[in-house]
Amino acid sequence: MNAPVIMWFRQDLRLSDHPALHAAAAAGPVIPVFILDDETPGEWRWGGASRWWLHHSLAALGKDVPLVLRRGRPEAVLAALLRKTQASALYFTRDYAPWSGKLEQRVKDACDAAGAACHRYGGFLLHEPESVRTGAGDYFKVYTPFSRVCFGKGEPRAAKGTVSATWATHGLERRSLDNLRLLPTQPNWATGFGPVWQPGEAGAKARLVRFLEDGLKGYAEGRDRTDLAHTSQLSAHLHWGEISPYQVWQATRQAMEAAGGVLDRDGEKFLKEVLWREFAYHLVHHVPNFPEQPFRPEFAAFPWRPDDKALARWQRGETGYPIVDAGMRELWATGIMHNRVRMITASFLIKHLLQPWQAGERWFWDTLVDADIGNNAASWQWVAGCGADASPYFRIFNPVLQGEKFDPRGDYVKRWVPELRDVPAEMIHRPWEMTLPPKSYPPPMVDHARARARALAAFAALKTGESP
């Protein structure tokens, strides 16, 4: 019998199309290990909603493989496990968070010290950050030419099926998942998550199939409609690697081919969104302080007005703007928020309330089940106007018009803001203009026109260096 090898699972909690795992399975009996590392990422350790998801995803994976669960610094934990099992090699999937390069080097050093081989694979992204370069050899700071180069590379490799491995534990203690204490205790704020989500590989595949059957047709037009179910809701599954981007890409292409051109516009649009994820990860890989610092350095001097009370009203969904409040309450109740509403709520926090984008980024980090170091940072910087290829700061969403355009009947608002259930559709996004507005719903915490003028003055001050 070959010596065992260790498969270190990270954000790759699946058994199919998994380059590291396929290679490990070919090398010998596989000891599957997951390590909860709350130390290396520092303030970016997983937030509450991510932990809820992780618990259930590990539970799902643990039904198929004898997962060895540990917590601590991966290099120390893995060194001990390699010693104890005499494993000949370690296999893992590369990660792109700012701290990961150094962590992976320390893990390699631990393998060297233990006399074990160390094998790192891709699989989280379609394109490694080193492989997509401008003509001048730099990384891309603008999305459109980035995506053009990605499409120009031809179709990604074919996705592989489920691995066939001999699983082993070599006498390692199998500790209970509950020891990781990932679930909320009291109060249990996650009661609304279970009915919405099925973490794990089976849930990811089911979600993809449902999307291709019911959501893809009409995606290009419908993806912005908050009241329709046109998006895939695959982000958390992709984030935890319960499905690979290759599987998503390939299945989409197959659906497009089967429809004989009918889905071309929708399919292309969807694949372009998948490439936004790649773009975000390339940025965060190349610019390690991207989650904290504005990509455009001049924004470091932006005259924010930090205000805990205003931030709390936004977090609780009590701003008085229905589309904003619906989004924030959907987020709290389910761990997700529609992309269009993320843009509207983020814009409101940054521009109407002049709160630093990092405050919103951290709230999302704690409350989103798809909280993602690349996509979250890139998207907040995009809305704030300080990112690479960002929306200009002076483009300030009007929450009333956004609501009327993307939730025309108010169905989305009524689902999440029950105080407004009886408001007629034509007033749902401006209830304060009713003769008798619902008493239980607050009036707008800021006037849109005044807030817009204040935001533009702050932006002008940034450019001139004068105080607003």
Ligand X SMILES: Cc1cc2nc3c(=O)[nH]c(=O)nc-3n(C[C@H](O)[C@H](O)[C@H](O)COP(=O)(O)OP(=O)(O)OC[C@H]3O[C@@H](n4cnc5c(N)ncnc54)[C@H](O)[C@@H]3O)c2cc1C
- 285: alpha, beta or left, given left = phi > 0 and alpha = psi -120 to 50? alpha
State yes or no: residue 277 binds ligand X (CB under 6 A). Answer: yes
**233 belongs to the binding site for ligand X (CB under 6 A):** yes
Lookup: tokens for 125? 């992204």
Is residue 364 at the binding interface for ligand X, with CB under 6 A as the rule?
A: yes
x-marked contacts with ligand X along 377-416 as a string, rule CB under 6 A: --xx--x---------------------------------
What is the closest distance, in whole angstroms, from the C-beta atom of residue 421 to ligand X in the complex? 25
Residues ≥6 apart with Cβ < 8 Å to 137: none
Interface stretch with ligand X, choices 89-97, 226-234, 401-409, 452-460 (CB under 6 A): 226-234
**346 makes contact with ligand X (CB under 6 A):** yes
Active site residue 276: yes
Say which of 104, 273, 318, 419 is annotated catalytic. 273
List 36's β-bridge partners, or say none.
Answer: 71
Q: Name which of residues 76 to 105 contact ligand X (CB under 6 A).
A: none
304 labelled catalytic: yes
What are the φ/ψ torsions at residue 339 (nearest 5 degrees)? -55, -45
CA dist., res. 364 & res. 346, Å (int): 10
Of the candidates 162, 255, 186, 257, the residue with the CA atom closest to the CA atom of residue 215: 255
Stretch that binds ligand X, among 106-114, 230-238, 286-294, 449-457 (CB under 6 A): 230-238
The correct pick among 235, 315, 334, 367 for binding ligand X (CB under 6 A) is: 235
238 binds ligand X (CB under 6 A): yes
367 three-class SS: helix
Residue 363 engages ligand X in binding (rule: CB under 6 A):
no
Active site residue 357: yes
Question: What is the distance between the alpha carbons of residues 144 and 141, in angstroms, rounded to a whole number?
Answer: 9
Asked if residue 423 binds ligand X (CB under 6 A), the reply is: no
Instruction: Identify whether 273 is a catalytic site residue.
Output: yes
Residue 276 interacting with ligand X (CB under 6 A)? yes
Output the 3-class SS for 279-332.
Answer: HHHHHHHHCCCCCCCCCCHHHHHCCCCCCHHHHHHHHHCCCCCHHHHHHHHHHH
Q: Is residue 284 a contact point for ligand X (CB under 6 A)? A: no
**Cα–Cα dist 196/69, whole Å:** 26
Q: How many residues does the chain have?
A: 468
**Does 273 participate in binding ligand X (rule CB under 6 A)?**
yes
- Report yes or no: 68 and 172 within 8 Å, Cβ to Cβ: yes
Cα–Cα distance list, 251 to 78, 148, 183, 270 (Å):
35, 21, 33, 12
Least spacing, CB of residue 331 vs ligand X, in Å: 10
Cβ closest to ligand X, residue 85 vs residue 235 = 235
Instruction: Determine the residue type at 232.
Output: S
The residue within the footprint of ligand X, chosen from 93, 147, 231, 358 (CB under 6 A), is 231
Q: Which is nearer to ligand X, 34 or 44 (CB)?
A: 44
Which range of residues in 22-30, 299-307, 375-383, 429-437 is near ligand X by CB under 6 A?
375-383
Cα(315)–Cα(331) distance, integer angstroms: 9
The single residue of 332, 357, 363, 365 carrying the catalytic annotation is 357
Q: How far is the CB of 277 from ligand X (least distance, A)?
A: 4
Instruction: Give the number of residues in contact with ligand X, rule: CB under 6 A.
Output: 27
Q: Does residue 263 belong to the site contacting ligand X (CB under 6 A)?
A: no
First to last CA, the chain: 73
CA angle 368, 371, 375 (to 5 degrees): 130
Should residue 223 be labelled a site residue for ligand X when binding is judged by CB under 6 A? Answer: yes
* Enclosing H/E stretch for 71: strand 68-71
Tell me which stretch binds ligand X (CB under 6 A): 31-39, 61-69, 335-343, 421-429. Answer: 335-343
Choosing from 304, 318, 398, 404, which is the catalytic residue?
304
Q: Does 370 bind ligand X (CB under 6 A)?
A: yes
Contact between 274 and ligand X per CB under 6 A: yes
If the CB atoms of residues 273 and 318 are measured against ligand X, the closer one turns out to be: 273
Separation in Å, CA 62 to CA 54, 78, 177, 258: 12, 19, 9, 35
- Closest contact distance (angstroms) between CB of 232 and ligand X is 3
Residue among 167, 339, 398, 404 flagged as catalytic: 339
| Largest pairwise CA distance in the chain | 81
Contact call for residue 315 and ligand X (CB under 6 A): no
Residues that bind ligand X (CB under 6 A): 223, 231-235, 238-239, 273-274, 276-277, 280, 339, 342-343, 346, 364, 368, 370-372, 375-376, 379-380, 383
Positions marked catalytic: 273, 276, 304, 339, 357, 380
